[in-house]
Amino acid sequence: MNLKQITKTSEFFLLTVILAIFVVFCFVNPAFFSLGNLFDIAKSMVETGILAMGCLVVLVSGGLDLSFMAVAVFAMHSVSLFFGRNYNGAPLPLLILCAIVVGTLVGLINSFFIAKLGLPSFIVTLGTSNVISGLCLAFIGSKQYNKIPASMLAFSKWNIISVENAAGGKSNLHGSVIILAAVIVLTTFLLRKTMLGRSIYCVGGNPVSAARVGLNRTKILLFVYCFMGGIAGLVGILHVSFQRMSNPYDLVGNELNVIAAVVIGGPRVGGGYGNTAGTILGVLLITMINNSLVMLRIPTFWQKAVVGMIIIIGTAAQILRYRRSQTA
């Protein structure tokens, strides 16, 4: 790919926008450029970035998942309650594994209705989200749970970089960024280097052609929604560790940030296109905007309005870009 082709990609456009916003906010508030704020942005990207990788795979397959936050809440609350009451000394890898299994099982339910019965993914996952939320309130309750396993508390204090800042305090880079990096690498390898990844693109881009070449759409979608569920379970455990408590209302409504990040990252609505580079740039853009609006003390409802506009503009831009490529 030559320089002219690179400058026409959505990734280059996103990078340009991010750099422009970064320069503007550094002038508006010099604290935005501080090492502590940059570390905060990196940590804030973890949950959104990991979920965005799962959403990317779903969008590439031609679907849409609206249940991932509910799955994350269910996984984090059920695992935290069970191990907090029965095995408080459980190691973090075991907690993560259990949460991933819980999320994967919910993803399996989604995939049955979507892949096997052929129901619209939007309707199925919207229904699943409401069912899970209702069950959580009915059987788990709506109260915060503070007696989480000790390994989660230890993880919340895990910093890989700690430097002294100008105020005499410490600026810390949390170790969870390593998990984000690992998930990005895994998703990139899956989509670019495996036959399964190529099959996901094929099923999302042209289901008819995929069927003609013998691809099993049911099995592929089975994997896609189980992958999304497992990713959601992982984020649930990370969220509990960050907050040092399990609150069933913490993640509710944050789907908007994840979907916005993925959409502006380049995946075409309808499937068959998208990559992890564009998605993580979208996550960075959304995180920077939310972070800067907080620093500027702009009310929360304006933050939601801005993210909503980004979704509309990002979706419109991708559709226009696709139409132009078809007529060219």
156: left (phi over 0), alpha (psi -120 to 50) or beta: alpha
Whether 103 and 230 have beta carbons less than 8 Å apart is answered as yes
Q: Where are the domains of the chain?
A: 35-162+169-252
The kind and range of the H/E element at 182 are helix 176-193
Long-range contacts of 104-109 (CB under 8 A, 24+ apart): 104/226, 104/229, 104/230, 104/233, 105/229, 106/67, 106/71, 106/74, 106/75, 106/132, 106/229, 106/232, 107/71, 107/225, 107/226, 107/227, 107/228, 107/229, 107/230, 107/232, 108/222, 108/225, 108/226, 108/229
Q: Rounded to the nearest 10 degrees, how much is the dihedral formed by the CA atoms of 193, 196, 201, 205?
A: 150
Band the pLDDT of 144: cuts 50, 70, 90.
confident
The reported pTM is 0.91
- Going through the chain in order, the beta strands assigned E by DSSP cover 159-164, 170-174
User: Is the predicted pLDDT of residue 3 greater than 70, yes or no?
Assistant: no
- At CA 311, angle to CA 309 and CA 312, rounded to 5? 65
For 67, list phi and psi in degrees, rounded to 5: -100, 0
Give residue-wise pLDDT tens across range 83-135.
Answer: 988 888 899 999 999 999 999 999 999 999 998 888 999 899 999 999 988 88
Chain center to CA of 301: 21
274: left (phi over 0), alpha (psi -120 to 50) or beta: left
Q: What average pLDDT does the structure give for the chain?
A: 85
Whether 21 and 232 have beta carbons less than 8 Å apart is answered as no
- Pick 48 or 299 by higher pLDDT: 48
- Which range among 27-36, 200-209, 222-231 shows the weakest confidence by mean pLDDT? 27-36
The mean pLDDT value for 159-181 works out to: 84
Query: Six-digit token pair at 305?
Result: 């309005």
Rounded Cα gap, residues 305 and 152, in angstroms:
34
Chain center to CA of 17: 21
Percent of the chain with pLDDT over 90: 38
